[in-house]
Amino acid sequence: MNALRDSLGRNLRQYGIVAALIIIVLLFQSMTGGRLLDPNNLAALVMQNAYVMILAIGMVAVIVAGHIDLSVGSVVAFIGGLTAIAMNQWGWPVPLAILMALIIGALVGMWQGFWVAYVGIPAFIVTLAGMLIFRGLAIVLVGQTVAPLPSTFNQIGGGSLPNFLGFAGNSDVLTIVIGLIAIAGLAFSQVRARRSLVAHGLSVEAFGLFVAKLAVMAVLIGVVAFWLSLSRGGTPVILVIVGALVLIFTFVLNRTRFGRHVYAVGGNRNAAILSGVNTKRTDFQIFINMGLLAAVAAIATTARAGAGVAAAGQNFELDAIAACFIGGTAVQGGVGKISGAMIGALIMGVLNMGLSILAVDSAWQQTIKGLVLLAAVAIDIVSKRRAALG
């Protein structure tokens, strides 16, 4: 019983975020008369909030290292507009335009990372300047909407995987299979991680709590997969992209030298320097990573819109930052998980969709999201203060 109580105490924040998501979903499901979890609305929720999830993956590393990036929304508009121009006006094939977008994203990250890491200008100032610079460039490049774009490109943001396995009743079999693979992968990774902790003599959560957590996550994945299988298109292409990015960058942050250095720098920069961590190189790499993910978000956003628009990306940086903080990333740095940021992004997405279905005025939507963000950060700070005192 004591072990269970200790496990709950250590992981209370993580469990609380998941519980909050479930409560919010059930609340809006009731208030909207069941429309929130309509299969087509669920698919739309994924497509509409993919940009938040993609940007939040990179923003976790930025915030964990003690920085912030205010430029990502403008970078999305700049790269998205340039990608649209390459296909619409220059006649570039889709793969080449996508490659160009990724290269430009990396270059943008290098530009900002240089000023932060090697010149020593605070990231807040550098990325605030970047927000102005790249928004201005987007407006100059995209004087008017750039459209149409190739249908193969538009499929990235608004299309679904081809249904080559057919249907079982009204369910897309491919979506069900993907859900089962996701559950199996989750179970394997969680069991492997637990065994690794035990082998190294580190503390783990109580076995009963571990099994319960795994069961809840499996059920949630199964329910989402089943609901999506009933939607008009099945599995959105962008969901597969987001899932792949989550897996890749979770591995990078948790299992690589770069990831360990990110947490070391955010936890205690001076101690990291004394331990031999090249903090300048780590900061530089963090912003390259953020630039690449901003490019992916630009591709997804432009593909979903089917056009390059100078006004794209408005407030994207705020949504990504809010998703990270709601998902448990510490304001002071040093603590944060991509899985938590994804839950935070889903909370933001559910709030957006639920309030829109209820026809709540956009001004009130912004107010409610602001209050949710403030509450999440306040809870994080108060809980840490109590833990320090206790």
How far separated are the first and last CA of the chain, in Å rounded?
Answer: 20
- Specify whether the backbone of 305 is left (phi greater than 0), alpha (psi in -120 to 50) or beta: alpha
Kindly give the confidence (pLDDT) of every residue in the chain, 390 residues in length, as a single tens digit, with 9 standing for 90 and above: 454 455 555 566 677 788 888 888 889 899 988 888 899 998 999 999 999 999 999 999 999 999 999 999 999 999 999 999 999 999 999 999 999 999 999 999 999 999 999 999 999 999 999 999 999 999 999 988 998 999 999 999 989 998 888 888 889 999 999 999 999 988 888 888 888 878 878 777 778 888 888 888 898 899 899 999 999 888 999 999 999 999 999 999 988 999 999 999 999 999 999 999 999 999 999 999 999 999 999 999 999 999 999 999 998 999 999 999 988 888 888 889 998 899 999 988 898 888 888 888 888 888 988 888 888 777 777 776 776 665
Q: Where are the domains of the chain?
A: 50-159+260-389
Tell me how crowded residue 126 is: count the other CB atoms within 10 A of its CB.
Answer: 24
In a 3-state reduction of DSSP, which class is residue 331?
A: coil
The answer to whether 330 and 102 are in contact (CB under 8 A) is no
Enter the pTM of the model. 0.92
Nearest C-alpha neighbor of 323 from the set 108, 62, 66, 130: 62
> What is the rounded CA–CA span in Å between residue 335 and residue 262?
10
Identify the burial level of 169 via C-beta atoms within 10 angstroms of its C-beta, where 0-12 means exposed, 13-18 middle and 19 or more buried.
exposed
